[in-house]
Amino acid sequence: MLEIEIDGKKLTAPQGSTVMEAAHSIGTYIPHFCYHKKLSIAANCRMCLVEVEKAPKPLPACATPVTDGMKIHTHSDLAKKAQAGVMEFLLINHPLDCPICDQGGECQLQDIAVGYGNGASRYQEEKRAVPGKDMGPLVSAEEMSRCIHCTRCVRFTEEIGGFQEIGMAHRGEFSEILPFLGKTVNSEISGNVIDLCPVGALTSKPYRYSTRAWELSRRKSVSPHDGLGANLIVQVKHNEVMRVLPLENEEINECWLADRDRFSYQGLNSDARLKTPKIKFDGRWHDTDWETALAYVVKGLNGVSADHGKDAIGFLTSPHSTTEELYLAQKLARAFGINNIDYRSARSDFRADAAKQGAEWLGSSIVELAAAKSVLVIGSSLRSEQPLLASRIRQASKKGMALNIIHVADDELLMNVHAKLIASPLALVNAVAQVLKAVVAIKGGDSTLDLAQVDVSAQAQAIADSLCAGETARIVLGAVAQHHPAYSELLALTQEIARISGAGFGVLSEAANSVGAELVGAWAQGGMSAGEMIASPRKAYVLLNTEPEFDGYNSAASVAAMKQAATVIALTAYQSEGLLDYADVLLPIAPFSETAGSFINMEGRLQAFNGVTKPQGEARPAWKVLRVLGNMLSLDGFGFNSAEEVRSELLAKGDIAQRLNNSLSSIAANTAAKAGVVRVGEVPVYSTDAICRHAPALQATALAAAPVARIAADVFAAAGLAEGELALVKQGGATLRVPAHLDASLPAGVVRLAVARAETAMLGGMFDTIEIERG
Amino acid sequence: MAIFKSGVIFEGVDTQDENAWRLAAYEARGGYVALRKILAAQMPQDEVIAEVKNSGLRGRGGAGFPTGLKWSFMPRSFPGDKYVVCNTDEGEPGTFKDRDILRYNPHALIEGMIIAGYAMGTRAGYNYIHGEIFEAYEQFEAALDEARAAGLLGQNILGTGFNFELYAAHGYGAYICGEETALLESLEGKKGQPRFKPPFPASYGLYGKPTTINNTESFASVPFIIKDGAQKFLEAGKPNNGGTKLFSVSGHVNRPGNYEVPLGTPFTELLEMAGGMRDGKKLKAVIPGGSSAPVLPAEIMLGVTMDYDSISKAGSMLGSGAVIVMNEDVCMVRALERLAYFYHEESCGQCTPCREGTGWLYRIIHRILNGEGRPGDLELLDSVGNNMAGRTICALADAAVFPVRSFTKHFRHEFEYLIEHGKPLVDHKWC
Ligand SMILES: Cc1cc2nc3c(=O)[nH]c(=O)nc-3n(C[C@H](O)[C@H](O)[C@H](O)COP(=O)(O)O)c2cc1C
Ligand code: SF4
Ligand code: SF4
Ligand code: FES
């Protein structure tokens, strides 16, 4: 520790820290623009100049390392003059039309100018005008004359995003911040540059000019999308969500948000929101009141139950719903005598259910995962499934984490990858088994699984070496693995690798409340799984926050099951086309932003939140709807007065941490690789749930472009396809014409074609066989 | 045009001989004797560095930093890659000496860099060459080929087991790429922008590895020092200012060109060598060390000797040795406007004071020149300059301010006159 003095205050600072960091540690503010704690030091804005005794000139606090005995003055005459000088330079070419700038009121330049600038400008020459740039539908770069060239945006894309999508072109006064010529900024975490930009140069395209910052109230919430549980500040005006910003939480989202977390709020204000209960009769939809609608539901459920038995009814719920909603949904179903309930519509393998010993989770905290020396990610398109976690792993991989990948496509992760094994879904189990076999050979243990037929590839060996060498190693299974028809085998093999190598293991929970859904029992314990409810269609379905054509493993089969049912009761925030087609009653429920509730993230952390606005129209929080339904069905135990009461009841069932367990009590796996042409059908980054599916700006991004078939070289050649021409795809009896693209990153026998999109909803299972020919 | 008197680098070089640059001609002049001597004797690295230190060689790139001392900063026991890099970016207005070294005596540079590589334990070097002297770049590549073919460069040099590879790279004409850390960025394939220092290149240089950067003329002086001894080099100049120096004399003289003369040569002698003032006009002012050095009026210049200490005492810098001579017909406001325009164009734009300040300075001076000066403009220039100098990542901002300060100090009356009367005191004559 070094002893230093800042403005007369004595303090100690660690060797290697900067004057800026030392000042922050004692709460002394030094004005700055380019400095950001998560980015490399650029030292270009020069706003942080301070006086250091014995130094001949003022020094930039952000880049000056402290030395023992250093005496720093942040407010001396010299420091203040230097700061005022820089401020004058920053303002000479700045438009200074703050009243019409979108950043007005929350602009660092404005704030610091008031504190550290002079009143009048001595600059009387013409100001520079910089043409606006097109960075895509999320980030507005219209007002580039406001840019102060701090390069925070540039450093963010390069260092945090992994790919320098924004650069500073030209020189001197003519320097301009721009994306690649003719390209937009396509990172899945691009919106952070809006927060980073200290001025009104980069602003939110969907938000800009809609309100002034000071008109907004700030409310805390939690992202309803992926399993990370990013903390949000939701900004509201007149009961409408206007904007979403990150709420800093170093252990979860740091100071970042994924674009999905930030821009999905537009979906909350969508015209497709369901605002009144609706019943379909005489082949038409009729708006109705809650009483009528709920009476209809009760009659329907009682009727099906009387005619066909309770087992003829199935509940499909969503891992994006709150813990309280999911708890009440399963409580209601079970109290009514229905055990067919599941939140896992996107899965296809439920064979491990009987061997489960607790709820699946990450197996560690997020921080612990990032600190592991070796990590193996199995079956995850990391950047689209978990954009922020991917960014955290990117940082860790720079600091020495050995990142290993087993996946169905060689995706560009923009991070350092130690070893990767790319295999068709039909060979994925075999790929993981190869690593197990290599681990067994290294560690000398014995696996109960039969590995005789498995040949260890060089990549599998490298992965096994890495897992066994790392002081701390972790293995995680992504959404592709979880949706895979052999998930139970992937899980079993992972468990074995972990047991023998000493690594920890878990899953990358795909949704905000996957862990909560499992913990509260909203899955097939004692009843049918989501897969069975589709494979053996039920007479009645209750859908909670679920659109089976998008959320189901097999879109075509899901829709067919819905269509044949006598009644489909949907608790939904949206009147989506599918629901309007096959449901007969729609109950408008509140999305996460309009209800109190909680999500349990991948690390098992329960995060409670309150509604940030009142429910729109006649929409009601789902926990209230379920409570009333419980009462109308004359079920006991539905006397809740608040979401908190529901939460206390469900939490009384036991400590969360005690009930998390990834290990299966018995395992099995068939490790032979199979041949054939198979689909890789993934949920695109902005199709994960109904909210982002209804967010127009996200849907306008390059990442949400219309699906195309990406085809492995062997399949492409065998079908005689030409690049970009239409191919005829056949799956489950349905056909579709889509543009065909050769994709060298795919293993043999693979056709990659997204699910959860209207364009492909007529097709079948995510990882089922598929045919493709010239069309 | 290249006119050399006597000296270290161009001793014996016949600029009329189109093969003067070739290996054979260089060896005939005593080339590669120094390298052979070192390798044959397996001279300890410390001794080589001590010899360079004792020679009093100061960096010829502008700052005049002692070369031997710089070499001693390289961590010699560092296990990984290390580099030596030569700076032939030569973009400073008025400077045109390094290109003549490449043109007439490239092997002196190559030999100097191999010796530097030996002394600092590096296995590879780069020469970064200004993008607008492409012929010189191509010829340098040819010289490298010759050296490789002769076993003087590459693996197992002269059969001694010593390896050193040298590569040429060319820039695209940006002045800022002459600043050593911008040069490194550019060499790495990035945008040429200076890095914040510390860390200095000796610990974090090319690709993050320890690196020593010297000017072309600095490296090219090294063979002489090793061959003929530090003492002889030192004696070629004067104490603390060892050796001869190349001066690029330009402006209103009869024979502009490069002159290699002992450090300490009176300016009057240099002026005479360059044929004296053209058309018998009167000397008005001289920028003695490249456009970034403060201008000095004739009366001061006529009393100085051409070396680091004397020129510094007179209030300017020897800099790169570019001597810009101006006669009585020069309007100093116009001259300063040209210089200010250059820095405005060439600022890399990272640092707020330089990015905004260079343009502001230029606009004020431009306005004054066009008869739109205002009372207070000179104080404004001064104040803007004060807010720039010493407040930035690299010295370009200082380089932009020095001319402004010195022109408005020594020729203040011309500026005042223009501001007051809206027309220049001196009717500028182009010639
Ligand atoms: C704006 C700027 C431009 C420079 N241009 C050159 C140049 O063209 N050639 C050069 O040798 N040094 C140039 N320098 C100096 C170099 O940064 C560096 O000090 C020099 O190459 C070191 O070599 P030396 O020690 O042999 O002089 C420049 C410095 C600045 C600030
Ligand atoms: S656009 Fe904003 S963040 Fe980027 S350099 Fe300019 S001011 Fe900084
Ligand atoms: S001083 Fe000027 S040229 Fe040097 S780094 Fe800063 S902006 Fe670039
Ligand atoms: S904050 Fe230190 S230079 Fe920008």
DSSP string, B108-125: HHHHHHHHHHHHHT-SEE
Instruction: Tell how far the Cα of A89 is from the centroid of ligand 2, in angstroms.
Output: 16
Residue B115 in tokens:
């010796």
Distance, CA of A107 to CA of A104 (rounded, Å): 6
Amino acid in the structure at residue B70: K
Mutate to test the pocket of ligand 3, among B89, B92, B179, B392 (most ligand atoms within 8 A of CB): B392
Q: What is the pLDDT of residues B80-105, one digit of tens each?
A: 899 999 999 999 999 999 999 999 99
The reply to whether A47 touches chain B by the CB within 8 Å rule is yes
Distance, CA of B84 to CA of B114 (rounded, Å): 9
Chain A with chain B: Cβ pairs closer than 8 A? 94
Task: Of A702-706, A732-736, B285-289, B369-373, give the lowest mean pLDDT range.
Answer: A732-736
Mutate to test the pocket of ligand 4, among A38, A45, A87, A108 (most ligand atoms within 8 A of CB): A45
Cis, peptide link before residue B198, omega less than 30° from 0: yes
Distance, CA of A692 to CA of A706 (rounded, Å): 15
Phi, psi torsion values for B418, nearest 5 degrees: -65, -40
Q: What is the pLDDT of residues B233-263, one digit of tens each?
A: 999 998 888 899 999 999 999 999 999 999 9
- Average confidence (pLDDT) over A202-218: 94
Contact status, residue A449 vs residue A350, Cβ threshold 8 Å? no
Distance, CA of B105 to CA of B219 (rounded, Å): 12
Q: How far is A420 from chain B (nearest CA, A)?
A: 27
The reply to whether B346 touches chain A by the CB within 8 Å rule is yes
Contact status, residue A99 vs residue A214, Cβ threshold 8 Å? no
Please return the burial class of A24, using the count of CB atoms within 10 Å of its CB with bins 0-12, 13-18 and 19+.
middle
Residue that has been written with the tokens 């989770």 in this structure: A361
Query: Quick one: pLDDT at residue A445?
Result: 84
* Domain range summary for chain A, segments of one domain joined by +: 2-180, 278-354+514-654, 362-507, 678-774
Which residue's CA is minimally distant from atom 30 of ligand 1? B179
∠ CA A152-A154-A157, rounded to 5°: 105
- Average confidence (pLDDT) over A534-548: 98
Contact status, residue A396 vs residue A409, Cβ threshold 8 Å? no
CA diameter of chain A: 92
Query: Quick one: pLDDT at residue B2?
Result: 56
What's the mean per-residue pLDDT of chain B? 95
Q: Which of A:48-67 have CB within 8 Å of B?
A: 49, 56-58, 60, 63, 65
> Which architecture, in CATH terms, is B330-419?
Up-down Bundle (1.20)
Query: Quick one: pLDDT at residue B5?
Result: 61
Query: Quick one: pLDDT at residue A250?
Result: 98
Residue A146 in tokens:
């406001």
Query: Quick one: pLDDT at residue A245?
Result: 98
Name the residue among A82, A122, A151 with its Cβ closest to that of B391. Answer: A82
pLDDT of B430 above 90: no
Global model pTM greater than 0.90: yes
Q: Which of A:23-42 have CB within 8 Å of B?
A: 41-42
- Which residue spans within B179-321 are E strands per DSSP? 211-215, 244-251, 257-262, 265-266, 283-287, 296-297, 305-306
Q: Which residues contact A370 (CB under 8 A, 6 or more apart)?
A: A392, A393, A395, A396, A401
Q: How many residues does chain B have?
A: 431
Chain A hits for B354, CB-CB cut-off 8 Å, are 172
∠ CA A121-A123-A128, rounded to 5°: 115
- Which of B342, B352, B393 best probes binding to A when mutated, by most A CB atoms within 10 angstroms? B352
pLDDT of B320 above 80: yes
Give ligand 2 pocket residues (Cβ under 6 A).
A 147-153, 177, 196-199, 201-202
Distance, CA of B301 to CA of B282 (rounded, Å): 13
Task: Of A153-162, B13-22, B373-382, give the lowest mean pLDDT range.
Answer: B13-22
Cβ of B198 within 8 Å of Cβ of A171? The answer is no
pLDDT band at A204 (very low <50, low <70, confident <90, very high): very high
pLDDT band at B431 (very low <50, low <70, confident <90, very high): low
Give ligand 3 pocket residues (Cβ under 6 A).
B 176, 194, 347-351, 354-355, 392-394, 396-397
Q: What is the pLDDT of residues A422-465, one digit of tens each?
A: 999 999 999 999 999 999 999 998 899 999 999 999 999 999 99
Give the CATH number of domain A2-180; options: 3.10.20.740, 3.40.30.10, 3.40.50.10440, 3.50.50.60.
3.10.20.740
Chain B hits for A171, CB-CB cut-off 8 Å, are 174, 176, 345-349
Contact status, residue B417 vs residue B425, Cβ threshold 8 Å? yes
Instruction: Tell how far the Cα of A198 is from the centroid of ligand 2, in angstroms.
Output: 7
Ligand sitting nearest the alpha carbon of A103: 2
- Which of A46, A93, A112 best probes binding to B when mutated, by most B CB atoms within 10 angstroms? A46
For A678-774, which CATH class? Answer: mainly beta
Residue A601 in tokens:
């993230």
- A2-6: strand order across its sheet: A9-13, A2-6, A71-73, A49-52, A59-60
List the CATH code of the domain at A278-354+514-654: 3.40.50.740
pLDDT of B79 above 90: no
Distance, CA of A474 to CA of A418 (rounded, Å): 14
The reply to whether B363 touches chain A by the CB within 8 Å rule is yes
Name the residue among A41, A90, A172 with its Cβ closest to that of B349. Answer: A172
Distance, CA of A488 to CA of A351 (rounded, Å): 6
Fold of A362-507: Dimethylsulfoxide Reductase; domain 2 (3.40.228)
- Average confidence (pLDDT) over A319-334: 98
The reply to whether B377 touches chain A by the CB within 8 Å rule is no
Residue that has been written with the tokens 């003549």 in this structure: B100
Distance, CA of A413 to CA of A415 (rounded, Å): 5
Name the residue among A63, A82, A89 with its Cβ closest to that of B196. Answer: A63
pLDDT of B7 above 90: no
Its ipTM equals 0.94
Distance, CA of A309 to CA of A528 (rounded, Å): 14
Per-residue CA distances from A263 to A240, A366, A694 (Å): 14, 23, 11
Q: What is the pLDDT of residues B385-413, one digit of tens each?
A: 999 999 999 999 999 999 999 999 999 99
Chain A hits for B350, CB-CB cut-off 8 Å, are 42, 44, 149, 151
Q: How far apart are the first and last CA of chain B?
A: 19
Percent of chain B with pLDDT over 90: 93
Which residue pairs from A611-616 have beta carbons closer than 8 angstroms and sit at least 24 positions apart in sequence? Answer: A612/A219, A612/A221, A612/A234, A612/A236, A612/A241, A613/A236, A613/A239, A613/A240, A613/A241, A614/A239, A615/A588, A615/A590, A616/A273, A616/A275, A616/A590
pLDDT band at A222 (very low <50, low <70, confident <90, very high): very high
* Domain range summary for chain B, segments of one domain joined by +: 1-234, 242-325, 330-419
Query: Quick one: pLDDT at residue B6?
Result: 64
Chain B hits for A46, CB-CB cut-off 8 Å, are 351-353, 391-392
Between B421 and A99, whose confidence is greater? B421
Name the residue among B354, B363, B387 with its Cβ closest to that of A85. Answer: B387
Chain B hits for A57, CB-CB cut-off 8 Å, are 390-391
Residue A615 in tokens:
């429910």
Q: What is the pLDDT of residues B156-205, one digit of tens each?
A: 999 999 999 999 999 998 999 999 999 999 999 999 999 999 999 999 99
Asked whether B364 lines ligand 1 (CB < 6 A), one says: no
Fold of B242-325: Ubiquitin-like (UB roll) (3.10.20)
Instruction: Tell how far the Cα of B268 is from the centroid of ligand 1, in angstroms.
Output: 27
Domain B1-234 has CATH 3.30.40.10: no
Distance, CA of A85 to CA of A69 (rounded, Å): 28
Residue A169, strand partner residues: A176
pLDDT of B142 above 90: yes
Query: Quick one: pLDDT at residue A181?
Result: 86
